[in-house]
């Protein structure tokens, strides 16, 4: 019975639910009468009236909302149509009708400020389109820079729309750039910094900017001034603009010093002048004469005391560096002895100076065992080899006290304390087996200061029977200065001090105040500052006595002259032609990373005199290597602070080097800015070579005679029959290694680079002469025929050079980086351990990126440069290769797209010009765009034949006037195609090892020859 009742109840509830749903459905469709009837007849007994009325009210409100929403939609549609009508009138430049329509139909709902913004945007669009069709690119820039604040038009969109005009002008002058270079030259700002990586065509980009400005704005050529830091660069830029840009009368490319000279026309004699730029040699000679004037006995004694002074704060120097950088810094940090040697610690300096001051003969780090078992095959070089009483003595200065079991190695060592303790035992056993007395000191003995340590050295030596009698003071001073090393070293330091001061505009009095206000915490630096300040005052006195000035004085006077005369100050262009500053329209700066305070003052004065000048600077912070000469990266890094309303843009694709070289450079500089992009598909070759792997046979005995005599090319036997010295053996190993590398492809140009002017114990020039003699003997050719193919230079002087193959010599941790303690003397000028280490890294980057195809680095096991680590990491290299693709072009925003559509509709945009660049286009597209019409048939034939794409607009390195439109420098031998005009220089190309096909040959013959040389290269 209960279950029956339950079922009936459920049925009743379900019936009521359905009735209620039916009533609500009627309410939702506005059938209120039917709903009321149904409710009264069927629901009133169980559905409370109050609840029903709420449902009715809710339904009516919902209906009212829907009606209102529909009315609003209709109004919105009507308004959108009328707004589109008004916008259409604006787009058609019918501003009067648009105003009338707005006032009549829109003013009560379309905010006037929004309408005025739309009207201004339309006016801007029409002005832009008209200017695009009829005006110059400079006019477009002016329109863009002066646009109303609410015109939403990004700079990227502006540049994208401007590019067809840029390309049109470039085509007219026979040039073509990649998209990065084009976009850099399309920037609308009046102050632009182009950040250009090595090999990215910065000179080409700069020349294109000059040519575009001259042609687009119809300027007289010399209204564009290009400033470079050396005469060779200025000449190259001038020639390029004259020849490749078709502006033969362009003359206004000059050095900063040439500009300053023309502005000042100094009455005083300009010292160190070699025709528009300063001579480092003449400057050095002047300083040497200055040194002779101040080198009285008291000054000499003070200098010796400075040389003798150790770094008291050595453990604290560089402590603000990250741990990895600190280890690199400390391992590379050298100290200099009284005799001029570079040693690794204060303790070693104390020992060397003590031996020197006591007249005891010694050799520092003489090689005794070429491949020692206890040093993993590395050469064993004990700290000091002493000759006394007719015997050899060995003195090792241990980094720890061997008897103290709790002693640990300093943290910058790269082996463990236990490994080092084993080496001590092995070295003791080695000398015991040799029967040589081993004298020992350790770093703990030096903790109580130099005087106490010297007494301990004395005891060690005297116990071994070595007499210790200190030489008279005058004799010690005489020995320090007898080889002129001390004078040369101080002259170089004083010159650097003076240059750094003058480049910042600091007089001797200003320096004196700065020293007094904030003395250096290092006593050695404080001593140097007083000596250098004395030298600075003497230098200035000598200038006054000679009624002379140096180039820094010239820059100061140039800035003063411009401030005084304003835009009427003039530059002499030759042949009586003058260019007032007021007539200049563009200034283009090369190598901006080398900018300094005095350059900034002169340039700032010019820009104030003529604010309408547009400024474009090009530089690469990864190649900033001239801080020693006063260059300051702050101008590059904070360009916008020094030149307000400026913009920076990147040009990063490397066209010089193959993939492996570009990638290695990126890994070296990882985390220090935008990486370079790869342009070449060829992998190239990078290899680290170890001198220890090169065997030079010098062992006596008939069984070694043949190999020994073969190696006489590299290492002549000693007349006394003894084993070769360490320097002689390393020279021989390096020469043999370089010979083997070069003989792999002997006709390719090779540059050998070193950190300093000496390498492996000899001058770089002598190393080159020996190498050329060896190669000429092996190849049976005259040495003169190799002169053009093999060059040596320091890493610093290699800036701007390039070669098929680069060999970097002595890539060890005491050369790259080379951390000289004298660097720490210039903290007054902002020099810090971090800055020194970073500049050394950049210097190695410059050396690496001179290579086009092959890069070799010679080093020694156990002392490899830390800069090799990222390059040797193959997984990082491979990962970087995958990241080096080119960026996609930015897509246009809505307003930019609208302008583009209207330009295309008007026919102002040709199909060729408007087609976006694709990053994966064939290299032959660029080749074809960059050659003279007379060569296009040859280019087509070359492409069809499968020949490798050539370099275009190729200048023979180091030769400003040897230019080829098409060149294959990587071929063996290299090949260049010269036009009829260029054929006058064909013999000079041939004399430098190039193949030059005659233009009279059939095209198929030329193509076959190029393929033979280019595809069969080694």
Are 979 and 935 a contacting pair, CB within 8 Å? yes
Give the model's confidence band at 621: pLDDT under 50 very low, under 70 low, under 90 confident, else very high. Answer: very high
Mean pLDDT of 70-98: 89
Tokens of 658: 């193959």
Residue that has been written with the tokens 């404080």 in this structure: 526
% pLDDT > 90, the chain? 28
What is the pLDDT at residue 768?
93
pTM: 0.76
Work out the number of other CB atoms within 10 angstroms of the CB of residue 804: 21
Tokens of 356: 């020197």
Judge whether residue 985 has pLDDT over 70: yes
Residue 197, annotated as binding a ligand: yes
Cα–Cα distance for residue pair 354/344, rounded to 1 Å: 16
What is the pLDDT at residue 368?
80
Residue 196, annotated as binding a ligand: yes
φ, ψ at 13 (rounded to 5°): -65, -40
Judge whether residue 307 has pLDDT over 80: no
What is the pLDDT at residue 811?
94
- Describe the crossing of helices 1003-1015 and 936-945 by its angle, rounded to 10 degrees: 50
Judge whether residue 833 has pLDDT over 70: yes
Domains of the chain: 189-268+552-651 (3.40.50.300), 270-309+483-546 (no CATH), 341-481 (3.40.960.10), 680-872 (3.40.50), 923-1016 (no CATH)
Range name among 8-12, 496-500, 550-554 with the lowest pLDDT average: 8-12
Give the model's confidence band at 274: pLDDT under 50 very low, under 70 low, under 90 confident, else very high. Answer: low
What is the pLDDT at residue 328?
55
Residue 199, annotated as binding a ligand: yes
908 burial level (CB within 10 Å; 0-12, 13-18, 19+): middle
Residue 205, annotated as binding a ligand: no
Residue 516, annotated as binding a ligand: no
Burial call 772-800: b when 16+ CB within 10 Å, e when fewer = bebbbeeeeeeeeebeebbbbbbbbebbb
Mean pLDDT of 201-212: 90
Judge whether residue 824 has pLDDT over 50: yes
Average pLDDT taken over every residue of the chain: 84
Residue 275, annotated as binding a ligand: no
The pLDDT tens digits of the residues spanning 915-951 come to: 444 444 467 766 766 666 677 778 888 888 888 888 8
Residue 377, annotated as binding a ligand: no
What is the pLDDT at residue 327?
52
Pairing of strands 951-955, 963-968: antiparallel
Residue 203, annotated as binding a ligand: yes
What is the pLDDT at residue 251?
86
Give the model's confidence band at 329: pLDDT under 50 very low, under 70 low, under 90 confident, else very high. Answer: low
What is the pLDDT at residue 278?
57
Residue that has been written with the tokens 């060829």 in this structure: 682
Tokens of 367: 């090689």
6 burial level (CB within 10 Å; 0-12, 13-18, 19+): exposed
Work out the number of other CB atoms within 10 angstroms of the CB of residue 490: 24
What is the pLDDT at residue 911?
40
What is the pLDDT at residue 916?
43
The pLDDT tens digits of the residues spanning 785-819 come to: 888 889 999 999 998 888 889 999 999 988 888 87
What is the pLDDT at residue 1?
47
Cα–Cα distance for residue pair 904/909, rounded to 1 Å: 5
């Amino acid at each position: 019975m209960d279950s029956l009742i339950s079922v009936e109840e459920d049925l009743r509830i379900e019936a009521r639910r359905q009735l209620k749903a039916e009533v609500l459905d009627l309410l939702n469709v506005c059938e209120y009468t039917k709903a009321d009837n149904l409710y009264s007849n069927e629901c009133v007994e169980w559905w409370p009236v109050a609840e029903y009325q709420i449902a009715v009210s809710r339904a009516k409100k919902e209906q009212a909302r829907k009606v209102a929403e529909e009315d609003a939609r209709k109004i919105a549609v009507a308004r959108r149509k009328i707004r589109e009508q008004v916008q259409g009138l604006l787009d058609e430049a019918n501003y009067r009708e648009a105003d009338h329509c707005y006032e009549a139909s829109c003013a009560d709902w379309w905010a006037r400020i929004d309408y005025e913004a739309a009207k201004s945007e339309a006016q801007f669009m029409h002005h832009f389109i008209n200017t695009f069709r009829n005006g110059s690119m400079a006019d477009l820039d002016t329109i863009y820079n002066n646009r109303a604040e609410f015109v939403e038009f990004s700079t990227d969109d502006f540049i994208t729309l401007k590019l067809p005009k840029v390309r049109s002008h470039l085509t007219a002058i026979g040039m073509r750039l990649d998209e990065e270079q084009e976009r850099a030259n399309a920037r609308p700002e009046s102050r632009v910094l182009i950040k250009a990586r090595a090999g990215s065509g910065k000179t080409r980009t700069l020349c294109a900017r000059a040519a575009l400005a001259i042609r687009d704005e119809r300027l007289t050529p010399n209204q564009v001034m290009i400033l470079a830091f050396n005469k060779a660069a200025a000449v190259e830029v001038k020639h390029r603009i004259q020849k490749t840009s078709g502006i033969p009368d362009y003359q206004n490319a000059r050095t900063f010093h040439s500009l300053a000279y023309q502005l000042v026309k100094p009455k005083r004699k300009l010292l160190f002048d070699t025709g528009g730029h300063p001579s480092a040699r003449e400057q050095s000679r002047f300083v040497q004469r200055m040194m002779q004037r101040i080198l009285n006995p008291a000054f000499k004694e003070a200098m010796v005391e400075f040389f003798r002074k150790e770094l008291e704060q050595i453990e604290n120097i560089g402590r603000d560096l990250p741990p990895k950088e600190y280890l690199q810094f400390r391992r590379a940090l050298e100290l200099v002895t009284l005799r001029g040697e570079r040693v690794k610690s204060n303790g070693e300096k104390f020992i060397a100076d003590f031996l020197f001051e006591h007249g005891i003969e010694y050799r520092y780090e003489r090689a005794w065992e070429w491949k020692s078992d206890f040093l993993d095959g590395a050469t064993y070089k004990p700290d000091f080899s002493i000759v006394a009483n007719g015997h050899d003595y060995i003195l090792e200065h241990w980094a720890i006290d061997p008897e103290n079991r709790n002693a640990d190695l300093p943290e910058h060592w790269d082996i463990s304390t236990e490994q080092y303790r084993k080496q001590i035992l092995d070295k003791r056993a080695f000398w015991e087996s040799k029967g040589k007395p081993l004298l020992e000191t350790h770093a703990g003995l030096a903790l109580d200061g130099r005087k106490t340590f010297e007494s301990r050295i004395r005891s060690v030596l005297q116990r071994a029977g070595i007499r210790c009698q200190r030489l008279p003071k005058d004799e010690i001073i005489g020995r320090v200065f007898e080889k002129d090393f001390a004078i040369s070293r101080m002259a170089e330091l004083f010159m650097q001090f003076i240059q750094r001061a003058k480049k910042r505009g600091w007089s001797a009095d200003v320096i004196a105040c700065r020293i007094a206000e904030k003395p250096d915490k290092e006593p050695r630096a404080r001593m140097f500052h007083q000596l250098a300040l004395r030298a600075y005052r003497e230098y200035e006195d000598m200038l006054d006595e000679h009624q002379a000035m140096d180039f820094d004085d010239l820059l100061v006077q140039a800035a003063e002259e411009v401030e005084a005369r304003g835009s009427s100050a003039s530059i002499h262009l030759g042949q009586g032609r003058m260019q007032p500053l007021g007539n200049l329209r563009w200034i283009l700066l090369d190598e901006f990373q080398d900018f300094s305070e005095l350059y900034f003052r002169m340039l700032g004065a010019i820009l104030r005199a003529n604010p309408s000048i547009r400024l474009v600077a090009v530089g690469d912070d990864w190649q900033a290597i001239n801080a020693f000469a006063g260059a300051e990266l702050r101008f590059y890094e904070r360009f916008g602070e020094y030149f307000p309303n400026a913009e920076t843009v990147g040009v990063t694709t490397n066209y010089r080097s193959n993939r492996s070289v570009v990638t290695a450079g990126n890994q070296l500089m990882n985390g220090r800015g935008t990486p370079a992009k790869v342009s070449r598909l060829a992998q190239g070759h990078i290899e680290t070579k170890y001198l220890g792997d090169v065997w030079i046979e010098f062992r006596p005995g008939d069984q070694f005679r043949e190999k020994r005599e073969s190696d006489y090319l590299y290492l002549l036997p000693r007349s006394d029959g003894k084993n070769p010295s360490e320097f002689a053996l390393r020279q021989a190993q390096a020469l043999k290694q370089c010979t083997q590398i070069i003989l792999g492809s002997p006709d390719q140009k090779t540059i050998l680079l070193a950190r300093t002017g000496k390498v492996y114990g000899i001058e770089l020039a002598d190393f080159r002469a020996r190498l050329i003699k060896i190669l000429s003997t092996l190849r049976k050719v005259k040495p003169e025929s190799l002169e053009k193919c093999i060059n040596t230079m320091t890493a610093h002087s290699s800036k701007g050079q390039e070669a098929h193959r680069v060999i970097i010599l002595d890539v060890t941790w005491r050369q790259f980086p080379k951390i000289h303690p004298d660097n720490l003397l210039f903290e007054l000028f902002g020099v810090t351990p971090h800055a020194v280490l970073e500049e050394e890294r950049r210097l190695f980057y410059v050396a690496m990126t001179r290579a086009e195809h092959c890069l070799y680095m010679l080093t020694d096991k156990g002392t490899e440069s830390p800069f090799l680590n990222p390059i040797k990491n193959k997984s990082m290299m491979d990962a970087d290769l995958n990241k080096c693709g080119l960026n996609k072009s930015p897509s246009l925003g809505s307003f930019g797209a609208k302008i583009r559509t209207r330009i295309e509709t008007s026919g102002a945009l040709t199909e060729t010009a408007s087609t976006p660049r694709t990053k994966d286009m064939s290299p032959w597209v660029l080749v074809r765009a960059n050659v003279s019409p007379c060569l296009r048939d040859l280019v087509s034939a070359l492409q069809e034949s499968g020949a490798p794409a050539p370099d275009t607009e190729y200048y023979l390195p180091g030769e400003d006037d040897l230019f080829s439109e098409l060149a294959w420098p990587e071929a063996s031998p290299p090949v260049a195609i010269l036009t009829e005009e260029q054929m006058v220089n064909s013999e000079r190309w041939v004399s430098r090892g190039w193949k030059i096909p005659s233009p009279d040959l059939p095209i198929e013959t030329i193509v076959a020859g190029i393929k033979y040389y280019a595809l069969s290269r080694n």
